[in-house]
Amino acid sequence: MANKIIVNTKNKKNPLGDFYGIFFEDLNHAADGGLYAEMVRNRSFEFSPVDNGSYRSMTSWEKVGNASVMISDKEPHSAKNPHYAVVQNPDNSEGGLLNLGYNSGFNFVKGEEYIFTCTAKSNEGTTVYVSLKSIEGTVYAEKEFTINSGTWQSYKLLLSPTDTDHCGRLTVTMRSAGKICLDNISLFPKNTYKNRENGLRRDIALLLEDLKPKFMRFPGGCLIHDGSLNSDDRDSMYRWKNTIGPLCDRPARRSNWAYNQSLGLGYYEYFLFCEDIGAKPLPVLPAAYNPHSGQGAPFDELGEWIDDTLDLIEFARGGEDTKWGAVRASLGHKEPFGLEYIAIGNEEVGDGFFERYPYFHKAIKEKYPDIKIINSAGPFAAGGEYDKGWKSAADNGSDIIDEHYYMSPEWFLANVDRYNGFGKRNTKVFLGEYATWGNTYYNALSEAAYMTALENNSDGVALVCYAPLLCNVDYVNWKPDMIWFNNHTSYGSANYYVQKMFMTNLGTHLLDFTTEGLGKTQVLGSESLGGKISLTAERCTADFYDITITDTHTGKTASCDNIIGAQANKQLEIGSINSDTYEISFKAKRHSGTQGFKLTFGETDKDNSHSWVLGGWANADNALYSLIDGRSSCLIQNIFSVVTGLEYSFKLVINGRRLTGYINGEKTIEITDNNAVVRELYTTASIDEETGEIIVKAVNVMNSECVCDIVLDGINAFYGKAFQLAGYEKDDENTFDEPQKVFPVEIPVSSDSNTLSCILPPMSVTVYRVKEK
């Protein structure tokens, strides 16, 4: 039978709404040293070892000449950011401060203008020279100002370099003996995105704008809930009220990604950016509970946190006559920003969150019944905590629930049908963080296949965004990432171009379609999970004993040597088996340490295995993982902690791809890790009601081309474009040297009937966007 995709162009299904968006979190220096265009690193001398053990007040600053520099907090410019530099120059030679900037230094572009600002005081009427220089000291631009007040004053200069240099330096110096106090030393390119003051880096902002996101989730991620409960603490959770108003009064904060947040890119700027790129804001607020530490605010103190949430809604939606609407207006935005969605919690595990969530939910719905509230399904694709999230969503009537997972491409291909039938649920899914592990073309391709299924299940899946979004190549906390940058350039990964093709080609409504033919399949991986078996004491020391491996086909049991005094993190082989049904039993006792045990099985090489982790992460997980070509997937997680000195007895039953784990005789975990059965083609179709355009997406993951007719039922003839990624090797990646190695081509298409005959190349992603002739 000939292959066909038959789209019923007259049968509109559910609206696609705000389906695709972006998720911005300040990790990988996505804000400071990234999208936020400030070029001075540690502009207010607030870096501290609380942020990162290596940080000091003078981090990223150097002394120039014979000057001495002291950091003081006496009579500061702002009590919220108390530290400043006291610079004393002993003679008439040049002396002062030099900032190293981010990455290789400052990015100066010949002819561009840069805005220097600082606050300063001096009792001596001192002249200060501000210079943009090379590492060797070549001056590209220089201006001066005179400090003539013993109280803090602001100064501003415009500088334009005579040359381009990506390794520039900023110096602020004196050329005579004198003593000055300096704070808030800032340099911004004038040419920011939309030319805003305190604005955003243009190249990065444009890459985001080009995605045409319907919403933006911000400001995190773990960033929002990993911190202390007191908003005045240096390492507090992300509290939005700390992030608005004059820059000098926004208190510097530790980010859980082990660096400093100036909060210069704060809630007001996030809302503005959303408005600028046409994305609906989707803020994520902490629920007074930190799943990383297990600490939560007492229930009788939740009021402050709930008020923060309600006040934020008022800040976004309220008129000027409301308290927080007036604050917004005072910052420069009289009109409300609008707010339709709010997320309570990031990826939550533990009862501490689920006990607090209902208070937030009730208070929000009472005051703002139309706001869509997003609950959390935690960081796992399945298991006890995931189920707890869904139960909480059902019990509370959450509009949406946020799911997160980072998996192998094979997991995504094996789970394309994950959301089939979710349309019947009252709570809709927000896939708020997902990615395959990697930025290769194969990663992007498998994500594209998965995204067709997300669109097809958009009656149950309301919102989707890839994560993480941004990464400064010199400050990597997490990879893969959608967009990579250094101090002067940025590029989209292969994954970015898939996202862009899907995000910018989304109809207003899903269309009904059927397929004919297209029956070819290819199974990835092996049916059997036989292979090497080993035990590891993870971040602990332990004994493993009474170890047996039983082949349940033959009934043959092998007893393995006891391992007494296993050292931390050493993988110790206990045997190997060539069978698809077997059991592994062992006893274990931890002597010291913070985590528990790992049983690795079905290991065929170091990059391919399965594992059962007991007492993983914060000694909280009982989880099953697969590792395929070095890419890990947490298949299922339940809660379990190891207690030092207690004896545990473990048994894992492997029956084909069905895995069942028992602890002390009790079944505690079970999942089938299905192989990916790759389909001949992954497709979806939608219509843009406003333009009448029909959009058909076709993803061919196989190594062979797919000949297929696209039949647009209800249309006589059509024309338009196809956007296509094809012809790449699996491992191809975009890089700074080849930023558009993987880049979609545009092909005109036309048909004088309702049918377009297509040859979809091997490993290709094609998006057709056509209109009736």
Nearer to ligand AHR, 468 or 492 (CB): 468
Q: How far apart are CA 337 and CA 274, in angstroms?
A: 9
Q: How far apart are CA 773 and CA 770, in angstroms?
A: 9
Nearer to ligand AHR, 81 or 436 (CB): 436
Residue 309 CA: distances (Å) to CA of 339, 368, 553: 12, 11, 58
Comparing every residue's Cβ against ligand AHR, the nearest one is: 221
> Three-state secondary structure along 24-39?
CCCCCCCCECCCECCC
Task: Tell me the closest approach of the beta carbon of residue 688 to ligand AHR, in angstroms.
Answer: 31
Q: How far apart are CA 349 and CA 290, in angstroms?
A: 9
**Six token digits for residue 65:** 């000449």
Q: How far apart are CA 375 and CA 356, in angstroms?
A: 11
Nearer to ligand AHR, 116 or 257 (CB): 257
**Six token digits for residue 476:** 């990597």
**Which has the closest alpha carbon to 344: 332, 356, 335?**
356
Active-site residue identified among 94, 347, 603, 733: 347
**Which has the closest alpha carbon to 309: 238, 399, 254, 235?**
238
Task: Tell me the closest approach of the beta carbon of residue 379 to ligand AHR, in angstroms.
Answer: 5
Task: Tell me the closest approach of the beta carbon of residue 21 to ligand AHR, in angstroms.
Answer: 14
Task: Tell me the closest approach of the beta carbon of residue 434 to ligand AHR, in angstroms.
Answer: 9
Task: Tell me the closest approach of the beta carbon of residue 477 to ligand AHR, in angstroms.
Answer: 8
Question: Would you call 169 helix, strand, or coil by DSSP?
Answer: strand
Are 612 and 599 in contact, with CB atoms under 8 Å apart? yes
Nearer to ligand AHR, 222 or 344 (CB): 222
Task: Tell me the closest approach of the beta carbon of residue 481 to ligand AHR, in angstroms.
Answer: 9
Q: How far apart are CA 408 and CA 381, in angstroms?
A: 13
Q: Which residues bind ligand AHR (CB under 6 A)?
A: 25, 27, 220-222, 346-347, 379, 404, 433, 467-468, 478
Nearer to ligand AHR, 25 or 580 (CB): 25
b/e burial code for range 44-72 (CB count within 10 A of at least 16 → b): bbbbbeebbeebebbbbbeebbebebeee
Which residues are within 8 A (CB) of 98 and not within 5 positions of it... i.e. 6 or more apart? 61, 62, 63, 64, 169, 170, 171, 172
Task: Tell me the closest approach of the beta carbon of residue 210 to ligand AHR, in angstroms.
Answer: 21
Question: Would you call 512 helix, strand, or coil by DSSP?
Answer: strand
Nearer to ligand AHR, 634 or 708 (CB): 634
Q: How far apart are CA 461 and CA 53, in angstroms?
A: 42
Nearer to ligand AHR, 3 or 392 (CB): 392
Residue 347 annotated as catalytic: yes
Q: How far apart are CA 384 and CA 639, in angstroms?
A: 7
Nearer to ligand AHR, 27 or 710 (CB): 27
**Six token digits for residue 390:** 């869904």
Q: How far apart are CA 243 and CA 245, in angstroms?
A: 7
Task: Tell me the closest approach of the beta carbon of residue 469 to ligand AHR, in angstroms.
Answer: 8
Cite the active site residues: 347
